Structure formats: C-alpha cells, structure tokens
Structure 1
Amino acid sequence: MKRVIVGLSGGVDSSVAAYALQQQGYEVIGLFMKNWHDDSVTISDECPWLDDSNDAMLVADKLGIPFQTVDLSEQYKERIVDYMFDEYQKGRTPNPDVLCNREIKFDVFMKIALDLGADYVATGHYCRKGTIEKNGKPIYKLLAGVDDNKDQSYFLCQLSQKQLAKALFPIGELTKPQVRDIAAKLDLVTADKKDSQGLCFIGKVRLPEFLQQKLKPKEGVIVEIPAEQEYYTIETPNFDSKVDELHYLTKKIDYTISDGKIVGKHQGAQYFTKGQRKGLAVGGTVEPLFVIDTDVDDNVIYTGQGKKHPGLFKRALFVTSDELHWIREDLALKVGETMKVKARIRYRQLLEKAILHKVDNGLFVEFENLQSAITEGQFVAWYLDDELVGSGVIS
C-alpha cells in the first residue's frame, strides 16, 4: 500500500480527499498545518485555527486514519508573511495563496510528509494531475478541475515538476455539490461547513490592520484623474518592431498630483491596490472611485470614476526572467518565440486569449482584449486547453 499524507485543513474538500484516497486503497494519514496563531489580526470567529484543527481531528477519527498537527508558523511567517509585508511596502500586491502552495504545502509540508515515509502528499484542491511520457521520462501536467466554478489550478501555478510528481488531487474530478454530498452521506462534521475565506490558513484577516503591524499608517492624498486626460487619448504611434509595440503597451503612466484634483485623504498608499473600490471613503462623485495607481514613494493614491475608466485598462503585461516559471519546462519558449495561450491575471477570472512573446529579459503577455486592473505582484497564469503550463509575477 502506498502511503499518502493529506493536508487536512478542517474543511470539507480535504475531508473528502482523504476519504477518496482510502477508497482507492492508499494508506492515509491526516496532518493539520498550524500556520498562524496571532489572533489579534484575525477576525477570530471567522476561521479560528483551533476549531479547524478540531474538525480535522474529528474527520480523521470518523475515517479511522491517524492524525497529527504540525506547527509551521515559523516558516510561514518567514516565507509568506514577511514576503507580503515586503511586497506591499514596494507598492505591489502579492498573492499569499499561490505562495503558500509553493513554499509551505508543497515544500515545507511535503518534506515533513516524505520524512514520515509518505509516497505522496494530497490536498483538497479542485484540479487534476495528468502524466505523459517524453523521451522515456514522465512529465506531469497540472489540469483544471472539472468544476469550472471551483477550478483552483491558478493557486498551484508555481508548482514544479518535482512537486507535482509527489502530489495528488483526489477531488479534481468532482464538483463542489458532489463533494458536499459525499461528506453528508459519511456524516462528516465538515459536510455543511462554509468555505474559509481569507489568507491561506490564517483565516479572515483585516488586511490594513494586519499590514499596520509592520507598515505604519501615514496620511496622504487621494487624487481623481479625469477620464478625458490627454494621455488616454493619444493615438498609438507606428512601431519599428513588435517588441517596441509591447514595451509601449506595458508602459506605466507616470501620474502627478497636478493631473487631477485632490478629493480626499488616506492612511497609507501601501494598503491599497489597483482596481480597489472599497475603503476610499470619498463621496459625492457620479460614479464610484476606483484605484488606478498607487505611488508608495510619494504616498499618493490615484483614482478614476467608474469601472470603465481608461486608467484601469491595459492590453499587455511583462514578467521578468527571474519571476518566470514553467510547470512544463519542455514547453518553455526561447528568445524570439511566441505561443498562443489562454491566460488569467487573477483567480476566478475567465480565461482570455493571449499571445506570449519571449524576449531577452523576460516575457510579454499580450491579450486580445483589454484587461482591467493588471496589478504588479499578482500572478499571471497561462493555459493550453485545460492545462496550466506556466506562470509569472506581473512586473
């Protein structure tokens, strides 16, 4: 019997994943990761880790599998929380869930599992794994989950072949209603438990308060940029090369306070992100204000009225070489090569047609349609059909 260690989170998905593996004849062990225990910044009623570990234990008991808790809070602080603070300070918006999978679940946690004699690590992610052979070697594919509404392949966009080799996703072929149904039939305590929101394993965090532990509040101004600003209406020039055009399409507008009018104050540009509408607390505009850019150096937030404001839209983005990642290394582009893909710049966004262009210092992703709120620090992931083949940090 092959041994699988399941990351039991105390939710319904990982509970049913453990059961599914049992049904497939694996020896299953449940492990709960304790990643954070600073209740001062979590809305503790929403996702207290104690309740979660208790639910995970009850599920393990019901399924008759061994169970233990591992405390990874030190590694979590170092690799996820510190990274988050650092990114927000630079004015970028990180995605802790993607990092948590790369750095914690499929790295620190996976090493612990393998040391415990596991052949595989399994999670309750809605995605699938495929295997093909090339030149006599296995190549692992990360495939979208069959439940379009719940597909979580995006969160695993930074996994490597080595990590995928040891990973199992037992519920990727199921839909969420089917998972709940199985849990109800088994009378599992997690059957009706609502999905956890918020940061991977921290629970629902009040983000500004969370960030204020490290990034001190500092008053600055909110500036509204009118949609008629001249730089939005400049005609696109002719280009000598495709690369010149891509550089033009990804260029940032350097906003200044004199481009618009001051409409309010804020407590720190680093707490805001592109496309954000909540938390600005500015009234009296015809349409709601959206953040179109933040300047953390001068502590200014630039906004525009309405979700159709031209300052929100771009057709291309860039990923630097050192933040470019191919799950399918065998498909990695060489300089000068292009690839037609479907891509998304955030979880749950519908896949959009795009072309990848590989250049010396990185990769351009050019979309067929304009994209709203392309945000530095977030991940772009690209697919061939239902296979996620690569990703990168938006620069």
Structure 2
Amino acid sequence: MKRVVVGLSGGVDSSVAAYLLQQQGYEVIGLFMKNWHDDSVTISNDCPWLEDSNDALLVAEKLGIPFQTVDLSEEYKEKIVDYMFNEYEKGRTPNPDVLCNREIKFDVFMKIAMSLGADYVATGHYCRKSEIEVNGETVYQLQAGADNNKDQSYFLCQLSQQQLAKALFPIGELTKPEVREIAAEMELVTAEKKDSQGLCFIGKVRLPEFLQQKLQPKDGVIVQIDAADPIYNQDTTEVGSPEEELISSSNKTLYSPTMGKVVGKHQGAHYFTVGQRKGLNVGGTKEALFVIATDVDTNTIYTGMGAQHPGLFRSALFVEQSEVHWIREDLRLHNGQTREVMARIRYRQPLQKATLHQLENGMYISFDEPQSAITEGQFVAWHEGEELLGSGVIS
C-alpha cells in the first residue's frame, strides 16, 4: 500500500480527495496546515483556522484516518507574507496563492509528508497530472481540471517536475457538483461548506489594513488621464527590429502628474493595483475610473475613465530570465526561439492566443489581442491544449 499525505484544509475538495484515495487503496494520512496566528487582519468570522481544523479533524474521524495539525506559520510568514510586503512596497501586485503552492504545500509541507514515510502528497486542486516518456525518461504533465469552471492549474503553474512527481490530484476529473454529491453521500461535515475566499490558508484579509502593518499610509493624489491624450497616439510607423517592437509594446506608458487633472486623494499608491476600480472614492465621472498606473516613488495613482480606456491595454509583456519557469523543461526555448501558445495573465481569464519570444535577457510574450490590466508581480501562464507548460512573473 502506498502512503499518501492529504493536505486537509477543512473544505469539501480536500475531504473528497482523501475519501477517493482511500477508495483507491492508498494508506491515507490527513494533515492540517496552520499558517497564520494574527487574527487582527483577518475578517475573523469568515475563515477562522480553528473552525477549519476542526472540520478537517471531523472528516478524518469519519474516514478513520490518522490526523494531525502542523504549524507552518513561521515558514509562511517568511516565504509568503514578507514576500508580499516586499512586492507591494515596490509597487507590484504579488500572487500569494501561486507562491503558497510552490513554497509551502509542495515544499515545506511535502518535506514533512516525506518524513512521515509518504510516497505522495495530495491536495483538493481541480487539475490533473499525466505522464509521458521523452527520450526514455518519465515527464510529468500538469493538465487543466475537467471542470472548466473550476480549473485551478494556474495556481500550480510554478511547480517543478520533482514536485509533480510526488503530487496527486484525486478530484481533477470531477466537477464541483460531483464533489459535493460524493461528500453528501458520505455524510462529510464539509459537504455544504462554502468555498473559502481570500489568501491561501489565511482567509479573507482586509488588504489595506494588512499592508498597513508594514507599509505606512501616506497621502498622495489621484490623477485622471484623458483617453484622447497624445501619449496614446504616438506614431509607430517607424518600425524597428522585431526585438525593438517587442520592447516597445511591452513597455509601460510613463505618466507625470502634469498630464492630467487631480481628481482625488489616496492613502498610499502601494495599496492599489492596475485595473482596480473599487476603493478610489472618486465620484462625478460619467463612467467608473480604473487605475491605469501607480508610481510608488512619487506616490501617485493614474486613472482612466471606463473599461476601454487605452491606458489599460498592452499587447505584450516581459518576464525576466530568472523568472521564466518551465514545468516542461524538455520544451524550454533557447535564445531566438519562438512558440505559439495560449496564455493567461490572471486566474479565470479565458486563454488568449499568444507567442513566446525567448531572448537572452528573458522572454517576451506578445498577444494577438491587446490585454487589459497586465499587472507587474502577477503570473503569466502558457498552455498547449489542456497542458500548462510553464509560467513567469510579469516584470
């Protein structure tokens, strides 16, 4: 019997994952990760870890599997929370859930599981794993979940071959309603439980308050840039080399406060992200204002009116070489190579037609259609068919 450690989160997905593995004849152990101590920044009644660990325990008892809680809050603070503060301070928008999978669930947690003699670690992610042989070696593939509506492969876009080798995703072939049905049949306490929102294992966080622990509020202005501003009509007929074109179309537009009118005040540019609409507290515009750029050096937020404002769109992005990650190492591009893929720049975004261009200093990704709110610090992931091939941090 192979031994599997399941990360029981107290939700329905991981509960059913544990049950299915048991049905498949694995020896199953349930572990709950406690990753957070500070209740002052969580909306406490929304996702208290106590209730979750209790539900995880009840599921383990129902299935008759061993259960324990592991406290990873120190590692979580160091690898996820400190990273988040750092990124926000630089004016970037991190994705803690992607990091949490790479650094916590499939690293720190996986090592604990292996120390318990586990052969695999399993989670309740909606994605699938398959394997093929390339040049006589086993290569693992990360595939989208069967439930289009719930596919979570994006959150695992930073996993390595070594991590995938030891991972199992038992519910990847199921839809959410099927998972709930199994949980109800088994009378699991989590069958009707709502999906958790917010940060991986922390729950819902009031982000500005969370960030204010480290990043002091400071007053700045909100500037509105007109959609007809000449900066959007720059003559691009002088076509340079393909490389220069990529650089130019992936570059951010640079704004200065004199280019627009001051329409409001804010408490800190690092609390805002490109594409954000809520929380600006500026009224009296015909359409909603969207953040089109932030400048943490001058503490200025630039906005544009309406979801089609030209300041929101770019047709390419850049990933620094050190941030380019291939799950499929055997498909890694070399300097000068290109590849047509389908890509997304955020979770749940429909896949977009794109081309990868590998250059010496990193990878440019150009899109067939301009993309709204390309955000520094977020992950871009690229696919071929159902398979996620790799990802990178948008720079």
Report the TM-score when normalising by structure 2: 0.99
1:266 deviates by 0.2
Matches within 5 A, 1:335-374: 335-374=335-374
Query: What is the alpha-carbon distance in structure 2 between the residues aligned to residue 150 and residue 359 of structure 1?
Result: 34
1:2 deviates by 0.1
Q: Tell me how large the CA RMSD over aligned residues is.
A: 0.5
Q: Which residue of the partner structure matches residue 39 of structure 1?
A: 39
Contact 1:37/1:49, CA 8 A, preserved across alignment = no
Q: Which residue of the partner structure matches residue 78 of structure 2?
A: 78
Query: What is the alpha-carbon distance in structure 2 between the residues aligned to residue 367 and residue 177 of structure 1?
Result: 34
Q: Which residue of the partner structure matches residue 27 of structure 1?
A: 27
Give the letter for the 2:59 counterpart. Answer: V
1:312-355 Cα distance to aligned partner (Å, 9 max, x none): 00010000000110000000000010000000000000000000
Contact 1:314/1:374, CA 8 A, preserved across alignment = yes
Query: What is the alpha-carbon distance in structure 1 between the residues aligned to residue 241 and residue 254 of structure 2?
Result: 24
Q: Which residue of the partner structure matches residue 334 of structure 1?
A: 334
Does residue 262 in structure 1 map to residue 262 in structure 2?
yes
Query: What is the alpha-carbon distance in structure 2 between the residues aligned to residue 93 and residue 148 of structure 1?
Result: 26
Q: Which residue of the partner structure matches residue 242 of structure 1?
A: 242
Q: Which residue of the partner structure matches residue 287 of structure 2?
A: 287
1:145 deviates by 0.2
Give the letter for the 2:168 counterpart. Answer: L
Q: Which residue of the partner structure matches residue 186 of structure 2?
A: 186
1:239 deviates by 2.3
Identity %: 74
Q: Which residue of the partner structure matches residue 114 of structure 2?
A: 114
- Secondary structure, in 3 states, of the residue corresponding to 1:198? coil
Query: What is the alpha-carbon distance in structure 2 between the residues aligned to residue 34 and residue 318 of structure 1?
Result: 36
Give the letter for the 1:252 counterpart. Answer: K
Query: What is the alpha-carbon distance in structure 2 between the residues aligned to residue 343 and residue 317 of structure 1?
Result: 12
1:134 deviates by 1.3
Query: What is the alpha-carbon distance in structure 2 between the residues aligned to residue 283 and residue 370 of structure 1?
Result: 28
Q: Which residue of the partner structure matches residue 313 of structure 2?
A: 313
Query: What is the alpha-carbon distance in structure 1 between the residues aligned to residue 294 and residue 315 of structure 2?
Result: 19
1:148-171 Cα distance to aligned partner (Å, 9 max, x none): 000000000000000000000000
Contact 1:249/1:315, CA 8 A, preserved across alignment = yes
1:8 deviates by 0.2
Matches within 5 A, 1:1-395: 1-395=1-395
1:209-244 Cα distance to aligned partner (Å, 9 max, x none): 000000000000000000000011123233232111
Query: What is the alpha-carbon distance in structure 2 between the residues aligned to residue 3 and residue 183 of structure 1?
Result: 22
Query: What is the alpha-carbon distance in structure 2 between the residues aligned to residue 26 and residue 14 of structure 1?
Result: 15
- Secondary structure, in 3 states, of the residue corresponding to 1:45? helix
Contact 1:312/1:372, CA 8 A, preserved across alignment = yes
1:10 deviates by 0.2
Structure 2: where are the runs of 5+ without partners?
Answer: none
Query: What is the alpha-carbon distance in structure 2 between the residues aligned to residue 85 and residue 354 of structure 1?
Result: 31
Give the letter for the 2:302 counterpart. Answer: Y
1:89-118 Cα distance to aligned partner (Å, 9 max, x none): 000000000000000000000000000000
- Secondary structure, in 3 states, of the residue corresponding to 1:32? strand
Of 308-317 and 228-237, deviating more is 228-237
1:302 deviates by 0.3
Query: What is the alpha-carbon distance in structure 2 between the residues aligned to residue 263 and residue 27 of structure 1?
Result: 61
Structure 1: where are the runs of 5+ without partners?
Answer: none
Query: What is the alpha-carbon distance in structure 1 between the residues aligned to residue 105 and residue 44 of structure 2?
Result: 23
Give the letter for the 2:180 counterpart. Answer: R
Give the letter for the 1:268 counterpart. Answer: G
Query: What is the alpha-carbon distance in structure 1 between the residues aligned to residue 314 and residue 325 of structure 2?
Result: 22
Give the letter for the 1:19 counterpart. Answer: Y
Contact 1:12/1:179, CA 8 A, preserved across alignment = yes
- Secondary structure, in 3 states, of the residue corresponding to 1:237? coil
- Secondary structure, in 3 states, of the residue corresponding to 2:388? strand
Query: What is the alpha-carbon distance in structure 2 between the residues aligned to residue 253 and residue 134 of structure 1?
Result: 43
Query: What is the alpha-carbon distance in structure 2 between the residues aligned to residue 322 and residue 234 of structure 1?
Result: 32
Query: What is the alpha-carbon distance in structure 1 between the residues aligned to residue 246 and residue 134 of structure 2?
Result: 34
Segments ≥4 residues shifted beyond 3 Å:
none
1:227-275 Cα distance to aligned partner (Å, 9 max, x none): 0000111232332321111011011111000000000000000000000
Query: What is the alpha-carbon distance in structure 1 between the residues aligned to residue 197 and residue 121 of structure 2?
Result: 23
Query: What is the alpha-carbon distance in structure 2 between the residues aligned to residue 252 and residue 314 of structure 1?
Result: 8
